[in-house]
């Protein structure tokens, strides 16, 4: 059957649209050679990786209302089915033909965002895409076999206007060394804005430095100039342009130092379930996200041999020692009982792909090298020291029963999917020696700069938090140096912010195994990108020390924070919608924090009641309350739990209430949320005799809700 005989389609308006735009689009399909029989249908489907508003065909006055009409001698009806088609196209508008049939040349016009009866229209996705395609498939004979037309209508989505501006600088520098100042303009959805043109002023007044200079920026991401800091210290620069201002990540200036390089080693493209090309993927990571290292990680059961050849070619092409490091790899994607998702990284180029299966590869690509379950992959790699595996949590979460110390060594604690402290705790509870990383698993063509999305067109997964970074402590920006650092667990995880963490015990740093004959004596240095909220030292899975941030007795607030996931697997998000109420008191002020999505937050209902719209994917959401009254009682009644605590029973140490799920909990404490430090240094000592290995690590929370986790320092008794 020739696809050109199946008809054609056009979209109006076509062209280019700004991310997040609301409007109306008409897709007109012209029936092809065979016509469409009574009982036949067409479907219009887009890639599942889109946070465009879900179309709906029932409520004419609500957003996303969609209709269909025909000029043929038949009736039609339209519905939206969120699980109708085949990955990566999941979710479809289905137009059924009945009480007649259509002939060649007849038309079906689908209006997405029909405003005729009061709907405001349809909002498109919030991230750019060169070809946002409406894939049209036809079942002319009502057989439920669909065939695609030749050319599918599409439009282009681009970033909007500048809403924020950022400054990105190296995390480590030597005194007197010139370092680059990079400026990045972003739209409201977190997309780099290519069209920004204007003057930006960069200032620095840290440690006695008096620097102020104005630069002209003609692109959305651009090197503005250089700065040098003459003496050791922790520095930040501020940037101002018009009404927009921001400050850089911290720069730690020291004479003798090891570098910190920033990596996002996990993301996908249109070759699998994401968007954009592999070339665009690496280009974005290097030139827009401004990270130092990136890796491509497509689901193996969807990777054709031709796709793998392209990945190998692009990984090799973009490797530029001293500027940008790439790692070849893929995501081994067997189901959790067989091992679960693992990111496979290679040290060298042009390596084989050992898939878990060929589930969606039907083009004759070789199956001889498939390895299933995960233990078979370990057999295939046994004896090699040029590959490693990272335990990933997304949908098919990693099964630590398959841990193999020859290849395993890192677990992913955060990604665009959410925060997964539970897998770190699981690994440590098992006595595994592991380091912590964070990545994005980006599907939107924005590796290293993955911003939270609106609810997706697919209903079983979310990308509603920022993608993560791995800070790698290494000598140089080469593949070998980063590889050696990752294998040694000299790395840490953040939720996409360049937070500085230093953990030392004498000679030993995070990731190292130290002898426990000496007392545990740890030194910590933390420099945030915003003021710090928490700094907690953990021994294995228990908090053993909390940095004592100052509580101003004249300015005491109540901090309420909630977090966790329902389950470990795909549909993990927890719905915390509810009401925070104060009995015998008044909420004078409130400050929400750590809310990632535009459509969520806390809203006042009365003097003593706040409406909470919140979901967590393991991450935290929270609020600070300034309350007046005597013997006030705070209650949080949500869809998950109802909690009530007398304010007199709340102290600076969090009162923790576990409410089920995997790690669902609510924490209440006293706090002063103003005038908090951005930098802290402290030590932790423990002289107890240890009879088994213990892992010490630090967890950091900033005032904006962003977090960081160091890899542990392990103290191991001689008898082990």
CATH of segment(s) 164-253? 2.60.40.10
Condensed to tens digits (0 to 9), the pLDDT of residues 298-351 reads 999 999 999 999 999 999 999 999 999 999 999 999 999 999 999 999 999 999
Q: What architecture is domain 259-496?
A: Alpha-Beta Barrel (3.20)
Condensed to tens digits (0 to 9), the pLDDT of residues 512-559 reads 999 876 678 999 999 999 999 999 999 999 999 999 999 999 999 999
User: How many whole angstroms separate alpha carbon 689 and alpha carbon 443?
Assistant: 48
pLDDT of residue 684: 96
pLDDT of residue 718: 67
Per-residue pLDDT at 374 exceeds 70: yes
Condensed to tens digits (0 to 9), the pLDDT of residues 227-283 reads 999 999 999 999 999 999 999 999 999 998 889 999 999 999 999 999 999 999 999
Condensed to tens digits (0 to 9), the pLDDT of residues 556-603 reads 999 999 999 999 988 899 999 999 999 999 999 999 999 998 889 999
Closest CA to 454 of 189, 76, 662, 693: 189
Strands of 676-718, DSSP E:
679-686, 694-702, 707-710, 713-716
Taking residues 355-361, report their average pLDDT.
Answer: 96
Helix-then-strand count for the chain, H and E: 5, 57
pLDDT of residue 458: 55
**How sure is the predictor about 431, in pLDDT bands with cuts at 50, 70 and 90?**
very high
Is residue 175 within 8 Å of residue 231, measured between CB atoms? yes
pLDDT of residue 692: 82
Q: Does domain 498-549+677-720 have CATH number 3.40.190.10?
A: no
Taking residues 629-645, report their average pLDDT.
Answer: 93
CB-side neighbour CA atoms (13 Å) of 549 = 26
User: How many whole angstroms separate alpha carbon 198 and alpha carbon 336?
Assistant: 51
Query: Which residue is it, tokens 């959305």?
Result: 220
Strands of 540-650, DSSP E:
542-546, 557-563, 574-575, 578-583, 586-593, 601-606, 609-613, 615-616, 620-628, 633-638, 642-646
Per-residue pLDDT at 689 exceeds 60: no
Per-residue pLDDT at 467 exceeds 50: yes
Pairing of strands 642-646, 633-638: antiparallel
Closest CA to 430 of 468, 401, 467, 407: 401
User: How many whole angstroms separate alpha carbon 102 and alpha carbon 98?
Assistant: 9
Strand order of the sheet with strand 633-638? Answer: 601-606, 609-613, 578-583, 633-638, 642-646
Q: Is 28 exposed, middle or buried, given 0-12, 13-18 or 19+ CB atoms closer than 10 A?
A: middle
Share of the chain above pLDDT 70, in %: 98
pLDDT of residue 519: 76
Taking residues 426-450, report their average pLDDT.
Answer: 97
DSSP string, 243-291: TEEEEPPPEEE-SS--EEEEEE--B--TTTTS-S-HHHHHHHHHHTS--
Q: What architecture is domain 3-158?
A: Sandwich (2.60)
Condensed to tens digits (0 to 9), the pLDDT of residues 492-518 reads 999 999 999 999 999 999 999 998 766
Closest CA to 327 of 296, 290, 299, 286: 296
User: How many whole angstroms separate alpha carbon 246 and alpha carbon 248?
Assistant: 7
Mean pLDDT (the chain, rounded):
95
**How sure is the predictor about 3, in pLDDT bands with cuts at 50, 70 and 90?**
confident
Condensed to tens digits (0 to 9), the pLDDT of residues 50-71 reads 999 999 999 999 999 999 999 9
Is residue 327 within 8 Å of residue 295, measured between CB atoms? yes
pLDDT of residue 517: 63
Rg of the chain, C-alpha, whole Å: 27
pLDDT of residue 459: 53
The residues that bridge with 379 in the sheet, in sequence order, are none
pLDDT of residue 720: 45
The total of other beta-carbon atoms located within 10 Å of residue 689's CB is: 8
- Rounded to 5 degrees, φ, ψ at 401 are -65, -20
User: How many whole angstroms separate alpha carbon 367 and alpha carbon 354?
Assistant: 9
């Amino acid at each position: 059957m020739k696809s050109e005989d199946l008809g054609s389609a056009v979209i109006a308006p076509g062209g280019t649209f700004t991310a997040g735009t609301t409007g109306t689009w008409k897709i007109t399909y012209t029936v092809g050679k065979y016509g469409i029989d009574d009982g036949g249908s067409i479907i219009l489907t887009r890639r599942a990786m889109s946070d465009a508003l879900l179309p709906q065909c029932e409520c004419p006055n609500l957003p996303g209302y969609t209709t269909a009409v025909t000029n043929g001698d038949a009736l039609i009806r339209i519905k939206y089915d969120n699980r109708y088609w085949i990955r990566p196209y999941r979710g479809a508008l289905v137009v059924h033909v009945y009480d007649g049939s259509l002939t060649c040349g007849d038309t079906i016009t689908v209006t997405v965002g029909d405003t005729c009866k009061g709907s405001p229209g349809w909002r498109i996705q919030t991230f750019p895409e060169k070809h946002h395609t409406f894939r049209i498939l036809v079942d002319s004979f009502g057989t439920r076999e669909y065939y695609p037309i030749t050319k599918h209508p599409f439009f282009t989505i681009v970033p909007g206007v500048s809403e924020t501006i950022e400054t990105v600088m190296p995390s480590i520098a030597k005194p007197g060394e010139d370092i680059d100042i990079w400026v990045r303009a972003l739209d409201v959805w977190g997309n780099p804005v290519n069209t920004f043109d204007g003057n930006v002023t960069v200032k620095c007044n840290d440690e006695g430095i008096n620097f102020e200079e104005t630069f002209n920026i003609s692109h959305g991401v651009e090197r503005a100039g250089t700065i040098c800091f003459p003496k050791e210290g922790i520095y930040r620069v501020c940037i101002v342009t018009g009404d927009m201002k921001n400050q850089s990540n911290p720069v730690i200036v020291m004479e003798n130092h090891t570098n910190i390089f920033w990596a996002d080693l996990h993301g996908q493209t249109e070759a699998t379930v994401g968007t954009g090309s592999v070339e665009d993927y690496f280009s974005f990571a290097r030139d827009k996200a401004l990270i130092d290292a990136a890796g491509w990680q497509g689901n193996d059961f969807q990777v054709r041999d031709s796709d793998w050849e392209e990945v190998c070619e692009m990984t090799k092409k973009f490797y530029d020692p001293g500027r940008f490091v790439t790692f070849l790899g893929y995501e081994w994607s067997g189901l959790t009982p067989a091992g679960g998702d693992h990111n496979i990284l290679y040290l060298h180029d042009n390596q084989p792909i050992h898939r878990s299966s060929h589930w969606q590869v039907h083009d004759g690509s070789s199956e001889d090298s498939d390895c299933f379950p995960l233990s078979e992959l370990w057999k295939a790699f046994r004896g090699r020291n040029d590959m490693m595996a990272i335990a990933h949590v997304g949908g098919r979460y990693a099964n630590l029963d398959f841990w193999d110390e020859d290849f395993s060594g890192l677990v992913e604690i955060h990604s665009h999917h959410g925060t997964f402290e539970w897998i770190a705790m699981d690994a440590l509870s098992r006595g595994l020696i592991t380091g912590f990383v964070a990545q994005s698993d980006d599907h939107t063509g924005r590796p290293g700069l993955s911003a939270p999305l609106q609810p997706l067109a697919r209903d079983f997964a979310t990308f509603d938090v920022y993608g993560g970074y791995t800070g790698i402590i290494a000598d140089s920006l080469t593949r070998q140096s980063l590889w050696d650092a990752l294998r040694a667990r000299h790395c840490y995880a953040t939720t996409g912010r360049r937070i500085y963490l230093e953990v030392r015990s004498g000679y030993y740093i995070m990731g190292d195994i130290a002898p426990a004959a000496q007392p545990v004596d740890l030194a910590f240095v933390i420099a945030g990108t915003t003021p710090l909220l928490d700094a907690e030292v953990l021994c294995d899975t228990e908090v053993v020390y909390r940095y004592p941030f100052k509580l101003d007795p004249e300015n005491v607030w109540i901090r309420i924070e909630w977090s966790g996931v329902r389950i470990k697997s795909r549909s993990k998000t927890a719905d915390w919608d509810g009401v925070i109420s104060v009995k015998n008191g008044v909420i004078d002020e409130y400050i929400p924090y750590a809310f990632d999505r535009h459509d969520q937050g806390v809203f006042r209902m009365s003097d003593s009641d706040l409406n909470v719209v919140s979901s967590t994917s393991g991450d935290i959401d929270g609020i600070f309350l300034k309350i007046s009254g005597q013997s006030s009682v705070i209650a949080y009644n949500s869809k998950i739990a109802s909690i009530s605590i007398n304010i007199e029973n709340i102290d600076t140490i969090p009162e923790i209430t576990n409410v089920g799920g995997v790690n669902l909990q609510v924490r209440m404490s006293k706090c002063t949320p103003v005038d908090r430090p951005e930098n802290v240094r402290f030590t932790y000592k423990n002289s107890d005799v240890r009879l088994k290995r213990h892992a010490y690590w630090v967890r950091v929370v900033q005032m904006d809700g962003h977090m960081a986790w160091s890899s542990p320092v392990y103290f191991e008794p001689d008898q082990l």
